[in-house]
């Protein structure tokens, strides 16, 4: 096997899910497996975690098809935008459609009736994200159409998505539904730990979604079986948004969606990015290292080469900023990060070819890599390329 690989602890993922479930009960938990399970490797994560999940979420129809071909039988919601010509895939592979427009809902219903095949849909309401979905003030026609659909279409749920929930760091313990902040409390300054504008936006989205649910309940009894809104940030900070199901993404993988959000649920990262030293030599002062000659040692130093580069997802922008751990000690990355390799300044320590190198995990958090690059943890994890083997431990080999 290639010496650069990603170790994924399945037992830790299960523990994270258990902790989330304990917090949000009796709400169900949708596990988000999009983007190759946030870089963790969906082929290993999905078969292990699916039996413990209530629902699975993906971004695109191809991800849902891939899970079905793997033998995953749990309900799968395709949460992203869908073109009309993709609708047959939903019927063929028993995927749940996010009905993000009146036209898409009508097209799905027409296809269901003409083929006499069944499809499940969740109505997508845009309460402030401005990405996909029907705005809350335009939702009534969508609701009316959903109630008039053929017997082959089941409107199973209704949902929306927060734009700013990860910045909601509320004073004290997480608020219960009855304690959720209203606009008057925010305006008065009682909630001060984050910019009030961000909290206003999240609370306003919650109010808008509740208004849409009220419309639905007036037009139909009972209301949809599954109402869902809470992503990772809201799962931590806004219990009133739990409704019938929550959708933890990055939180399930053990990473908090913001640095200063209150950690009301204990989770830990499940991935460790490892490699091994493949070359080591002593470099003299003044001898520049790597492309562009951006770094050179001031004194005689041992330089170790690690077989990982920006083609693997170790960003070129990490150049002269990063660090790795070898034999329990932290060392700086030096010189330009190459496509397939990068170098580390060992000083004059005894580091040998074959020694293990930790790029992430083991004291190097995803947040730290994100800071070196000027991005977020999501991009760091999902950017790890497919040519980096995933090794799954703790649950199945």
Q: Does domain 271-364 have CATH number 2.20.70.10?
A: no
- What residue ranges do the domains of the chain occupy? 10-246, 271-364
CB-based contacts of 349, cutoff 8 Å, min separation 6: 302, 327, 329, 331
Q: Which band of pLDDT confidence, cut at 50, 70 and 90, is reported for residue 176?
A: very low
- The DSSP symbol for 366 reads H
On the question of a common fold for 10-246 and 271-364, the answer reads no
Active site residues: 34, 291
Other Cβ atoms less than 10 A from the Cβ of 197: the count is 10
Say which residue, 348 or 190, is predicted with more confidence: 348
Q: What is the pLDDT of residues 31-74, one digit of tens each?
A: 999 999 999 999 999 999 999 999 999 999 999 999 999 999 99
CB-based contacts of 359, cutoff 8 Å, min separation 6: 273, 274, 275, 306, 308, 314, 324
* pLDDT at residue 396 tops 80: no
pTM higher than 0.85: yes
Assess contact for 40 and 16: CB atoms under 8 A: no
User: What is the CATH code for 10-246?
Assistant: 3.20.20.10
Candidate ranges 166-170, 172-176, 288-292; pick with highest mean pLDDT: 288-292
Say which residue, 225 or 282, is predicted with more confidence: 282
Q: What is the pLDDT of residues 1-41, one digit of tens each?
A: 899 999 999 999 999 999 999 999 999 999 999 999 999 99
Residue 363 φ/ψ region, left for φ over 0, alpha for ψ in the -120 to 50 degree band, beta for the rest? left
**Following CA atoms 202, 203, 207, 210 in sequence, which dihedral angle do they give, to the nearest 10 degrees?**
70
pLDDT of residue 341: 98
pLDDT of residue 72: 98
Cα–Cα distance measured from residue 102 to residue 87, given in angstroms and rounded to the nearest whole number: 14
Q: State the average pLDDT for the chain.
A: 91
Across 132-146, 179-193, 313-327, 335-349, least confident range: 179-193
- The DSSP symbol for 291 reads G
Residue 338 φ/ψ region, left for φ over 0, alpha for ψ in the -120 to 50 degree band, beta for the rest? beta
Per-residue tokens: 264 = 């009301």
* pLDDT at residue 163 tops 90: yes
């Amino acid at each position: 096997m290639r010496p650069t690989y990603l170790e994924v602890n399945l037992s830790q993922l299960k523990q994270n899910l258990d902790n989330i479930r304990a917090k949000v009960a009796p709400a169900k938990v949708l596990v988000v497996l999009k983007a190759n399970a946030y870089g963790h490797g969906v082929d290993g994560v999905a078969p292990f975690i699916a039996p413990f999940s209530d629902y699975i979420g993906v971004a695109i129809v191809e991800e849902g098809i891939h899970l079905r071909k793997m033998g995953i039988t749990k309900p799968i919601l395709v949460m992203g935008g869908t073109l009309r010509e993709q609708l047959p895939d939903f019927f063929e592979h028993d995927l749940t459609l996010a009905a993000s427009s009146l036209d898409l809902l009508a097209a799905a219903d027409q296809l269901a009736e003409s083929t006499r095949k069944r499809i499940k849909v969740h109505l997508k309401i845009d309460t402030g994200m401005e990405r996909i979905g029907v705005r809350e003030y335009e939702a009534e026609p969508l609701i009316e159409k959903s109630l008039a659909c053929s017997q082959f279409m089941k409107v199973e749920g209704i949902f929306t998505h927060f734009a700013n929930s990860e910045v909601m760091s509320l004073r004290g313990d997480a608020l219960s539904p009855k304690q959720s902040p209203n606009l008057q409390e925010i305006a008065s300054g009682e909630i001060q730990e984050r910019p009030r504008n961000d909290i206003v936006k999240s609370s306003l989205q919650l109010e808008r979604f509740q208004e849409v649910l009220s419309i639905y309940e007036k037009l139909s009894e009972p209301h949809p079986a599954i109402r869902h809104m809470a992503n990772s940030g809201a799962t931590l900070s806004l219990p009133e948004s739990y409704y019938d199901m929550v959708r933890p993404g990055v939180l399930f993988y053990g990473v908090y969606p913001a640095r200063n959000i209150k950690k009301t649920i204990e989770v830990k990262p499940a991935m460790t990015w490892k490699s091994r030293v493949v070359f080591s030599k002593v470099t003299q002062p003044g001898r520049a290292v790597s492309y562009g000659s951006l770094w050179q040692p001031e004194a005689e130093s041992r330089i170790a080469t690690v077989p990982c580069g920006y083609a693997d997802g170790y960003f070129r922008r990490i150049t002269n900023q990063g660090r790795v751990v070898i034999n329990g000690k932290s060392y700086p990355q030096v010189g330009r990060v190459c496509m397939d390799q990068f170098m580390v300044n060992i000083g004059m320590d005894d580091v040998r070819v074959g020694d293990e190198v930790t790029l992430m995990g083991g004291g190097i958090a995803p947040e730290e890599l994100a800071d070196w690059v000027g991005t977020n943890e999501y991009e760091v994890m999902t950017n790890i390329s497919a040519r980096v083997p995933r090794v799954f431990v703790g649950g199945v080999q």
